[in-house]
Structure formats: C-alpha cells, structure tokens
Amino acid sequence: MPIHNQITTTGTTVVVDSDFGPFTLDLAELERAKKMVAKGKKEPDERDPFSIIVEDFLGGDHLHCTRYWSQNLGQLMKMFSEVHLADKGWSVIEEFKLQKKRKVSPIYDVIKIPDEDDQQFLHTGIRLMVRPDGRKMALTYSTDDDGDERISVFYRRAEGEQASLFSQDKSMFGFRLLEELEDDFFERGPLKGRFFDLDYRFIKKDPHVGKLIAWDEDVKLELKRNVLDFHKAIPKLEALGMNSSRGIILAGPPGTGKTMIGKWLASSTGMTSILVSAEMIRSRGSIKSVYERARKLSPTLIVVEDIDTTGGMDRRVADHPLLGEFLQCMDGMVKNSGVITVATTNHSGSIDPAIADRPGRFDRIIEVGLPGIDQRLRILKRKIKPIDTHDSITTSVLKSIANRSKGLSGAWVIEVIQFAQVLALSRKDELMTADDLETSLDDVLARRGLAYRIDSMPSENPWRDDDNGLGSLWG
C-alpha cells in the first residue's frame, strides 16, 4: 500500500503529514548537521610530505630559490653557511632527513682544513630555522646526480608575491639570502688566505720550503721586488688609481725548482693562493672561473704550472683553445685588482707574444737557470746529511762530484744521491761510499744524455742549456 505524504512549509521549517503521523524538519538545522558531519571527515592531503612539513612550519604557501656549486666548493659553502646564518641571527629549530614519510637523522660530513680541527657540516638534510623577528625559513642541503652541491631556501610567500621564472630575481628573499652567503664566503670564508688548487683541494703551506731551495740570490731579489714587495704595495697602488695586478713568468729547464718557488711564494706572502695546472682545466671557462674567484678573494696569488701546456701556446705553431681565454682574463674588460699571476714554463719561446710581451698580462720574465757549482755543492751536502756514509766521503769528494755535475739541474743532482743510496743498499751495506757516488754520477750523466738525445729529435722543440742564465734552484 503506497505511503501518502502532505508537506507544509513555513520559513525554514517543513511539516510533513505522513502515513506514520506528522513530523517537523528544520532545514537550517539540517544544513548545520551536514557541515558538522563534513568537518569530521578529513579530505586526503595531496601534498608531498616535505611540502606538508614546510608549509606547516612556515604557516602558509612557500616559494624557494636554489644555488649550485661544484663538489668541493659546495661542501665548503655548506659548512660556512652555519657560521654565516648564525651571525645573521638565525637559529636552528630542527634538523632531519625525510625517508619516505618519516623524519630520520640527517647526513653529516667532515672537511679537513689545514692547521685547523676537522669541521663537521650538514651534508644532506633539512634545516628549519627562525630569526629573532619571527621570520622563518627551511633550508635543504643536497647533492645532484652529477655531483654538484645544492642549497635551497624555502620561505613563506608574501601577500601578492609571485614565483619568478628567473632564479636571479633579486627581489626574492631566497635569492638575496644566497647572494649574501656567497659574498660573505669569499670575504671571510675558509678559502681566504689559504692555498688550494682549481678543484678547491687545500694544499698545506710549508713555512720551511724556502730552506729547501738552493737559492740564486739574483732570482730571489727579482721575486722579492716583483711579488713580495708588490703585494705589500697593492693598497697604495689602488688608492692612487694605478694598476694593482702583475704577471711573472719563471722560465728555465725542467728540474730547476720553478714549481717549488711558486709554493714558497704562496707560503711567504700570506695571500690567498690558487694552483692551476693543465690536468685541472677540463673545459672552456675554467680559466675564467679562476680569475673570477681570485678577484673575489684578492689579494690573490695565482700559480700556473707549465703555462705553455695550460693555455699559452704560440699561435704561430698551433691554435690553442684556451689562449684567448687567458688573454681576456689577464687584460680584459674586468680589472684583476690585487691579483698576481706567477706562471712557470720549460719553453719560454713557445709562449705567445700576446701573453709574454705585454705589460698588464706578464710584466717580467725571470730566468731560473741551472745551478752553479756552489749551489750544486749545497744541494749535495743537504741531501747527504741525514744518510749514514763511509769515511771515504769527504768534503773534497763532494766538491769533485759538484764540479763533475756541471749542467745538471737540481733534480738530477738529487738523483745522484738517491741512486748512490740504492747502490749501497743493493750490496746490503748500510754505509754509502765515495765509489757509490762516483758510479751514481756516471749513471746519471748517461741517463741525462739519453734524455736530451730523445728530446732533440726533429719533431720536438728542445730546451737548450743557457750558461749565461741566472742559475738557481733545484726542484
């Protein structure tokens, strides 16, 4: 039997006269009941776990900005960010790493810095931070698949603020924060005053390296004038509006100590020093980046090993892809204020005149020649001092060896001592004899002659010993 209902409405009230009897329904109350039920049901949150944590912490929608650095530089930047942000008043609220949806301990790493304790830093993880004025941000520290280190800044979107299509938008809080971090890093960070290579690997400064060099006093005086004294004069030169950059080429045969001189300069000046060699230059832009860093860290000493293989080859012989880059960096539109470049070469004749014969690029070539007899004798005495020797090795024997070793570089003179020690050990004798020295010298002279016969083949460009050179060091 069908049910018949009669409905009467008054305002928001509905009266229903049904077969079961009349009942009243308040529509307003019905809507309120529906809303209460809806509140009790949570809609699924489609945000990823990271966004949920960051937006809950920031209290609203967020924007972000990211900056990348090469591996070693990026790790130093991560380490320094803790110092920089603490000085700016930022405090760490929480550090963690997300593993799926769970918070786990972040990953820390350690950097070894010469003459300092090992420095621990946050390598991979999330850092929630707050400033005394209530401003909040989240930082993520991560590494890309190609090994680049990355820091990202997440911050609350201001009213009306839109995400920029360009990460270089200076109006963005994240961009300004990362820019200030990088500027402060080069102003007072861990690279300042230290010696490192193109890949930002630290090289320990040896304050005793000068004692290991059998100095030619003329060479040492030239270096004092053109590097050490010039470094001290940089502030005055800049105040007078004069050029405060300088370039020196150390030219001479292999094994005469040119690289060791560069290391001595790095230790003696106290300047930030950067070592550059051919194997470190992997692409165009490498040399440009060296000079960009050097200007930010100035006063800076750049030591370029074997510039003839690094980028200074003569265009009359062959095109070198990095020659133009060197020319532009050393005397281009941007001044290298406070930057001193010291380059070494075994073949000064193969350096393009556009580099070697132009003040503002390289202002002076210093000849580092083969050691004279007094220098060779000093090398022999110094190297043999810690060795147990037979009574047959006298001062007169060492003088004879020094006299017979004319034309040998410092490296070859050292080889005389080292091979004599091998001869002594090969007969199970702990004492080196005068015969060992004489035999070793004969062997070295023969080997050196073979090396120069190979080097003088028509396809090569040999170095010819110059008896009129300043003479100098061993390496």
What span, in angstroms and rounded, lies between the C-alpha atoms of 27 and 41?
A: 22
pTM of the full predicted structure? 0.75
Window from 315-319, 324-328, 389-393 with minimum mean pLDDT: 315-319
The whole-number average pLDDT for the span 277-286 is 78
pLDDT of residue 461: 37
- The full length of the chain comes to 475
pLDDT of residue 194: 94
Q: What band does 471 get if pLDDT is binned at 50, 70 and 90?
A: very low
pLDDT of residue 81: 97
Is a pLDDT exceeding 50 seen at residue 469? no
What span, in angstroms and rounded, lies between the C-alpha atoms of 327 and 366?
A: 20
pLDDT of residue 419: 93
Q: What band does 457 get if pLDDT is binned at 50, 70 and 90?
A: very low
Print the SS3 string covering the chain.
Answer: CCCCCEEEEECCEEEEEECCEEEEEEHHHHHHHHHHHHHHCCCCCCCCHHHHHHHHHHCCCEEEEEEEECHHHHHHHHHHHHHHHHHCCCEEEEEEEEECCEEECCEEEEECCCCCCCEEEEEEEEEEEECCCCCEEEEEEEECCCCCEEEEEEEECCCCCCCCCCCCCCCCHHHHHHHHHHHHHHHHCCCCCCEEECCCCECCCCCCHHHHCCCCHHHHHHHHHHHHHHHHHHHHHHHCCCCCCEEEEEECCCCCCHHHHHHHHHHHHCCEEEEECHHHCCCCCHHHHHHHHHHHHCCEEEEECCHHHHCCECCCCCCCCCHHHHHHHHHCCCCCCCEEEEEEECCHHHECHHHHCECCCECEEEECCCCCHHHHHHHHHHHHCCCCECCCCCHHHHHHHHHHCCCCCHHHHHHHHHHHHHHHHHCCCCCECHHHHHHHHHHHHHHHHHHHHHHCCCCCCCCCCCCCCCCCCCC
Tell me if 179 sits within 8 A of 81, measured CB to CB: no
The whole-number average pLDDT for the span 320-345 is 78
Is a pLDDT exceeding 80 seen at residue 93? yes
The whole-number average pLDDT for the span 399-423 is 91
The whole-number average pLDDT for the span 310-335 is 63
Q: What band does 355 get if pLDDT is binned at 50, 70 and 90?
A: low
Sheet holding 6-10, edge to edge: 6-10, 13-18, 21-26
Question: Token digits for 149?
Answer: 């280190």
The whole-number average pLDDT for the span 354-358 is 63
What span, in angstroms and rounded, lies between the C-alpha atoms of 36 and 29?
A: 11
Window from 23-32, 125-134, 262-271, 390-399 with minimum mean pLDDT: 23-32
Q: What band does 465 get if pLDDT is binned at 50, 70 and 90?
A: very low
In the chain, the percentage of residues whose pLDDT exceeds 90 is 42
| 108 strand-pairing partners | 122
Q: What band does 203 get if pLDDT is binned at 50, 70 and 90?
A: very high
Q: What band does 451 get if pLDDT is binned at 50, 70 and 90?
A: very low
More confidently predicted of 36 and 225: 225
Q: What band does 270 get if pLDDT is binned at 50, 70 and 90?
A: confident
Q: What band does 299 get if pLDDT is binned at 50, 70 and 90?
A: very high
pLDDT of residue 181: 97
Is a pLDDT exceeding 80 seen at residue 452? no
pLDDT digits (tens, 9 = 90+) for 209-243: 887 787 888 898 999 999 999 999 999 999 998 88
The whole-number average pLDDT for the span 53-61 is 91
Q: What band does 159 get if pLDDT is binned at 50, 70 and 90?
A: low
What span, in angstroms and rounded, lies between the C-alpha atoms of 234 and 299?
A: 8
Question: Token digits for 398?
Answer: 């060492």
Question: Token digits for 352?
Answer: 């393009």
What span, in angstroms and rounded, lies between the C-alpha atoms of 303 and 305?
A: 6
pLDDT of residue 165: 46
pLDDT of residue 30: 77
